[in-house]
Amino acid sequence: MPQVTTSQLQRQLGIFGAVMMGLGAMVGTGVFVSIGVATGIAGPAIILAVALAAGIAICNGLSSAQLAASHPVSGGTYEYGYKYLNSWMGFTAGWMFLIAKSASAATAALGFAGYLLNALGFSRGHLIPLALGAVALFTLIGLGGIRRSNITNIAIVSVTLSSLVFFVVIGLPAVSYVNFTPFFAVGTGESGPLGALFHASALMFVAYTGYSRIATLGEEVQDPERTIPKAIIITMLVTMVLYMAVAVVGIGVVGADTLQGATEAQAAPLAIAAQQFSIPLSSKILAVGAITAMLGVLLNLILGLSRVLLAMGRYRDMPAFFERLNEAETTPYWAVLAVGVIIAGLVLIGDVKTTWSFSAFTVLIYYALTNLAALRLPSEQRLYPGWVAGSGLMACLFLAFWVEQQTWLIGGGLVLVGLLWHAMARRWQETA
């Protein structure tokens, strides 16, 4: 194993800051975009998919919590894989995280642009340039370090949560239960309604995985053994309740078909639902929350991805300059810049369904490795029973292959490319 640098990031986050970072990463693309994408697959049964994905995410969250508490450094499952599994699995986890979350970040940038353009009445032709501008701006904010980013994140999350509470409270009286029949989507192909449910659950699972941002920032959290598990559990509970309520109101107000169509045409499904509310400018109010939410997700993903890239630089799985910190030791500046460039490249795809579906397969493989690492924890370091991690492992592997065949074939190919790179990097180190 290569020598790991001794330079460390400063611990500046408490429980509140960690929870807000988790909410900033979770309450965004998942609720404002992916609910519309998954509704197009499962119909009103998306409500069951939200619940199923939440159950799996809870198992994964508990696995992440006990791993982060026992090994509180930046890098998440990449670091856990190295410590509790082997270098090959550790690298695969880091590689999958970079791919999956870069795609999620691109989805967030496109979602931000979609909601803003819808609110301003501009055409979709401005979608990609506006998304690229957001990536550039928040890459610069990420270069300012975790403290400045945390302040920005708290402001963003506060506006987002307020707009979603508004959406649920004002929208409930407009819900028509006719829109929930038929409950299971028709025309689901060979996989049938059950297959559509699993496919939608795989997509919705990604919407819960922002809690990992707390773990990947483990090196910057105060009192990690207490803060990280508590922050992850609080974040998961708040998000689960919110997603269920938003799904019920969104489908109940306009129906599954309209929600799906709004996602494909404008990447702004909840704004279309809010247009049916009795209060004037409801869609504009929701759009403000959606815009801030997407920006919060984008910021948190830039932070989390750069910390994984930092860890990979330390182990020489990526070029060594990615481990370099600024003079104050608050920012891995080369890693932040590289992440911004990668996300910008994926934004050019311009389609939220493609970017979100691709992130689903890769992130499920990532969390399968998280649970596998948790099963290897010594008994004295375990916070939860072994069946929790075992259930999460089996569920992630099961759902990973319910996404489109083309998606998991490409994902599998990228795994092989990554492992080839890893082998070459190991050989260069041995001959250096």
Residue 225 is assigned to a structural domain of this protein: yes
Per-residue pLDDT band at 217 (split at 50, 70, 90) = low
CB atoms within 10 A of CB 254: 23
User: Which residue spans within 110-263 are E strands per DSSP?
Assistant: none
Side chain identity at 36, as an amino acid letter? G
Q: How far apart are CA 76 and CA 246, in angstroms?
A: 30
pLDDT at 343: 93
**Statement: residue 86 has pLDDT above 80:** yes
Side chain identity at 432, as an amino acid letter? A
**Statement: residue 413 has pLDDT above 80:** yes
Per-residue pLDDT band at 389 (split at 50, 70, 90) = very high
Is 73 or 321 the better-scoring residue by pLDDT? Answer: 321
Mean pLDDT across 142-150:
66
- 289 closest CA partner among 139, 169, 155, 135: 155
Sort 28 into a burial class: Cβ within 10 Å, 0-12 / 13-18 / 19+: buried
**Most confident of the following: 154-158, 181-185, 190-194, 363-367:** 363-367
Q: How far apart are CA 220 and CA 223, in angstroms?
A: 10
Contact 32, 245 (CB under 8 A): no
Instruction: Give DSSP secondary structure letters for 168-189.
Output: HHHHGGG--GGGG-SSSPS--G
Mean pLDDT across 9-36:
73
Look up tokens 């969250």; give the residue: 61
Q: How far apart are CA 236 and CA 216, in angstroms?
A: 16
Q: What tokens were used for 167?
A: 């959406």
Mean pLDDT across 118-134:
84
Per-residue pLDDT band at 392 (split at 50, 70, 90) = very high
Domain with residue 348: its CATH number is 1.20.1740.10
Mean pLDDT across 108-118:
85
Residue 2 is assigned to a structural domain of this protein: no
**Statement: residue 308 has pLDDT above 70:** yes
Contact 392, 371 (CB under 8 A): yes
Residue 6 is assigned to a structural domain of this protein: no
Contact 262, 184 (CB under 8 A): no
Least confident of 29-33, 303-307, 366-370: 29-33
Is 419 or 300 the better-scoring residue by pLDDT? Answer: 419
Q: How far apart are CA 63 and CA 81, in angstroms?
A: 13
CB atoms within 10 A of CB 354: 17
Per-residue pLDDT band at 375 (split at 50, 70, 90) = very high
Q: What is the mean pLDDT of the chain?
A: 80
- Reported as a single tens digit per residue, the pLDDT across 296-305 is 778 878 888 8
Contact 111, 350 (CB under 8 A): no
Residue 430 is assigned to a structural domain of this protein: no
Residue 204 is assigned to a structural domain of this protein: yes
Residue 5 is assigned to a structural domain of this protein: no
pLDDT at 3: 47
CA 246 from centroid of its chain's CA atoms: 18
Least confident of 102-116, 205-219, 226-240: 205-219
Give the domain range for residue 352. Answer: 15-425
How many domains is the chain built from? 1
**Statement: residue 137 has pLDDT above 80:** yes
User: Which residue spans within 81-202 are E strands per DSSP?
Assistant: none
Per-residue pLDDT band at 341 (split at 50, 70, 90) = very high
Per-residue pLDDT band at 155 (split at 50, 70, 90) = confident
Looking at the chain, the whole-number percentage of residues with pLDDT higher than 70 is 85
H or E stretch including 359? helix 352-375
The terminus-to-terminus CA distance of the chain in angstroms comes to 14
Residue 141 is assigned to a structural domain of this protein: yes
**Most confident of the following: 92-96, 104-108, 139-143, 368-372:** 368-372
Mean pLDDT across 158-183:
86
**Statement: residue 286 has pLDDT above 50:** yes
**Statement: residue 30 has pLDDT above 80:** no
**Most confident of the following: 228-242, 363-377, 392-406:** 363-377
Sign of the alpha-carbon torsion through 372, 376, 380, 386: positive
Is 330 or 392 the better-scoring residue by pLDDT? Answer: 392
Q: What tokens were used for 394?
A: 């089996």
Per-residue pLDDT band at 196 (split at 50, 70, 90) = confident
**Statement: residue 390 has pLDDT above 90:** yes
Contacts of residue 187, Cβ cutoff 8 Å, sequence gap at least 6: none
Mean pLDDT across 390-407:
86
Least confident of 140-154, 330-344, 388-402: 140-154
**Statement: residue 204 has pLDDT above 90:** no
Contact 91, 308 (CB under 8 A): no
Q: What tokens were used for 266?
A: 């404008």
Cis ω before 319 (30° cut-off from 0): no
**Statement: residue 174 has pLDDT above 50:** yes
pLDDT at 1: 47
Per-residue pLDDT band at 7 (split at 50, 70, 90) = low
Q: How far apart are CA 274 and CA 284, in angstroms?
A: 8
Q: How far apart are CA 31 and CA 24, in angstroms?
A: 12
Three-point CA angle 70, 76, 78, nearest 5° = 110
Q: How far apart are CA 122 and CA 126, in angstroms?
A: 8
Q: What tokens were used for 241?
A: 């309740």
Residue 370 is assigned to a structural domain of this protein: yes
CA 173 from centroid of its chain's CA atoms: 31
Instruction: Give DSSP secondary structure letters for 267-305.
Output: S-HHHHHHTTSSSTTHHHHHHHHHHHHHHHHHHHHHHHH
- Reported as a single tens digit per residue, the pLDDT across 61-77 is 888 878 877 777 666 78
pLDDT at 421: 87
Mean pLDDT across 316-329:
78
